[in-house]
């Protein structure tokens, strides 16, 4: 048994305790073809992995509740020929022992075994509506059970979306998860520091992306947590710019939104800095406005505060700053009420973070913004995106700035996990090699 298997076994038991009688079935992600006979690098399904710690494709976890709970895994059988080509497989017997399951079957046995597990159960929980092929397969197994009605067998009469339990459990990170997230943050922080040092006029966005990817792997990360954004000049005003192919020009800002995934947990960092290492006056004014908004938003992250509080705090600071910089005119309250600030700041100030970079969990409960609790992990990422326009001072044209850090709510406020250089002085000193 792997040491971590105790953690995953305990998670599964928590789910069973919440679910009561019934069966939960969660499949991992399929392999995805890239072209012809090659696949994209495999990445397991987050829900499945959170329950199992098992990272092979073609696997399903089944949890049977009630007086005699069972933890069951379906996975690929050992195959010497395929292992020569594709690598090691655990096989059911080893997987059962190593990952702390009560039973394990081959993946090919699903059609024979799963209907038996659904017989005479009151409820079936799975992730409904995410994958039409999987929905069809689940209905086929249910219909197999229904076909035994004349023999006195009944099928589950209640279908439940498993996310009602899994999302809430994934939202509060345990110590094991936070250890992995801190390491993802450390690797990503070092990557941003290397990227800043490598940036200079005459280079290209893709060269900086290469620095990031190199640092991720050098730090032991499996992969980027998401497609890296390396956006210089006007590109920084495109929120999801991913082409990363333009030259780095003297006098432009460079916005990097990039981070690593470590142990299946994501970091998420954005930094914005001058290509030549020195902020212009307008760049500095805009940057320090976003920095002030982020500082105020981070201060608003604390137990009992609502999810929306950091965003509302950042919006007020940004809107006042837009008036001061003559990007907007009017009273701050009115500009907020009319969403006038949306012209230059059009996204929320954060999102949940965990195994997925936009992680599981509802933002509202019963129509109200949910309160923050210790163990919740989120990003704080205000921004300012100023496109050229007749009513915008020319010095601010094509300035795009976002500053993003990862924080975990604790008993007294929050802990900031990500620490690349952030103030104007820190950035300029670092880029000078100091």
Residues forming the active site: 37, 240, 257, 268, 347, 351, 358, 381, 385, 402, 404
Question: Is residue 432 a contact partner of residue 196, using CB atoms and an 8 Å limit?
Answer: no
Question: Is residue 91 a contact partner of residue 60, using CB atoms and an 8 Å limit?
Answer: no
Give the span between the Cα atoms of 399 and 286, in whole angstroms.
8
Q: Give Cα separations from 265 to 184, 193, 408 (angstroms).
A: 7, 21, 14
Give the span between the Cα atoms of 107 and 22, in whole angstroms.
21
The residues near 398 (Cβ < 8 Å, ≥ 6 apart) are 233, 234, 236, 237, 252, 386, 387, 388
Please choose, from the candidates 125, 139, 155, the residue with its C-alpha nearest in 3D space to the C-alpha of residue 20.
125
- 110-118 vs 132-146: helix axis angle to the nearest 10? 60
Q: And the tokens for 140? A: 């086929």
Please choose, from the candidates 45, 51, 53, the residue with its C-alpha nearest in 3D space to the C-alpha of residue 28.
45
Q: Give Cα separations from 173 to 50, 181, 255 (angstroms).
A: 11, 9, 29
User: Residues 231, 237, 243, 245: is their CA dihedral positive or negative?
Assistant: negative
- How far is C-alpha 117 from the chain's CA centre? 33
Give the span between the Cα atoms of 191 and 199, in whole angstroms.
12
Lookup result for tokens 């997230």: 181
Half-sphere exposure of 71 (CA within 13 A, CB side): 22
- Strand 383-386, strand 364-365: pairing: unpaired
Greatest Cα-to-Cα distance within the chain, rounded to the nearest angstrom: 81
Give the span between the Cα atoms of 189 and 221, in whole angstroms.
12
What 8-state DSSP symbol labels residue 139?
H
Question: Is residue 188 a contact partner of residue 220, using CB atoms and an 8 Å limit?
Answer: no
- DSSP for 27-48, written as a single string: E-PPP-EEETTEEPPP---HHH
């Amino acid at each position: 048994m792997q040491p971590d298997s105790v953690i995953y076994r305990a998670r599964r038991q928590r789910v069973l305790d919440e679910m009561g009688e019934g069966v939960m079935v969660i499949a991992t992600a399929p392999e995805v073809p890239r072209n012809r006979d090659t696949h994209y690098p495999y990445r397991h399904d987050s829900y499945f992995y959170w329950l199992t710690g098992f990272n092979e494709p073609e696997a399903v976890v089944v949890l049977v509740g009630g007086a005699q709970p069972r933890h069951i895994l379906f996975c690929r059988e050992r195959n010497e020929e395929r292992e020569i080509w594709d690598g090691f497989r655990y096989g059911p017997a080893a997987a059962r022992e190593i990952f702390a399951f009560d039973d394990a079957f081959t993946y090919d046995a699903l059609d024979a075994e799963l209907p038996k597990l659904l017989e005479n159960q009151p409820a079936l929980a799975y992730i409904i509506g995410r994958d039409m092929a999987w929905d069809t397969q689940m209905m086929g197994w249910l219909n197999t059970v229904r076909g035994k009605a004349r023999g006195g067998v009944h099928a589950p009469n209640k279908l439940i979306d498993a996310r009602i339990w899994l999302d809430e459990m994934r939202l509060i990170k345990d110590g094991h998860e936070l250890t992995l997230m801190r390491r993802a943050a450390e690797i990503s922080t070092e990557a941003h520091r290397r990227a800043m040092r490598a940036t200079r006029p005459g280079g290209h966005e893709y060269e900086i992306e290469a620095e990031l990817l190199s640092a991720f792997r050098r730090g032991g990360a499996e992969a980027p947590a998401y497609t890296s954004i390396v956006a210089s000049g006007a590109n920084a005003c495109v929120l999801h710019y991913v082409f990363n192919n333009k030259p780095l020009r003297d006098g432009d800002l460079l916005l990097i939104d990039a981070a690593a995934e470590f142990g299946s947990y994501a970091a998420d960092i954005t930094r914005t800095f001058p290509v030549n290492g020195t902020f212009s006056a307008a760049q500095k004014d805009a940057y320090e406005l976003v920095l002030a908004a982020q500082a105020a938003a981070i201060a608003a992250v604390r137990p009992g505060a609502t999810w929306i509080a950091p965003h509302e705090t950042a919006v007020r600071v940004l809107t006042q700053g837009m008036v001061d910089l003559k990007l907007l005119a009017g009273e701050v309250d009115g500009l907020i009420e009319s969403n006038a600030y949306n012209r230059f700041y059009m996204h929320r100030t954060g999102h949940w973070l965990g195994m997925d970079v936009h992680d599981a969990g509802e933002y509202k409960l019963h129509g109200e913004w949910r309160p923050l609790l210790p163990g919740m992990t989120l990003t704080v990422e205000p921004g300012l995106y100023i496109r050229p326009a007749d009513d915008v001072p020319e010095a601010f044209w094509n300035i795009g700035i976002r500053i993003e850090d990862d924080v975990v709510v604790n008993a007294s406020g929050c802990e900031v996990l990500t620490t690349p250089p952030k103030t104007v002085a820190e950035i300029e000193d670092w880029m000078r090699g100091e």
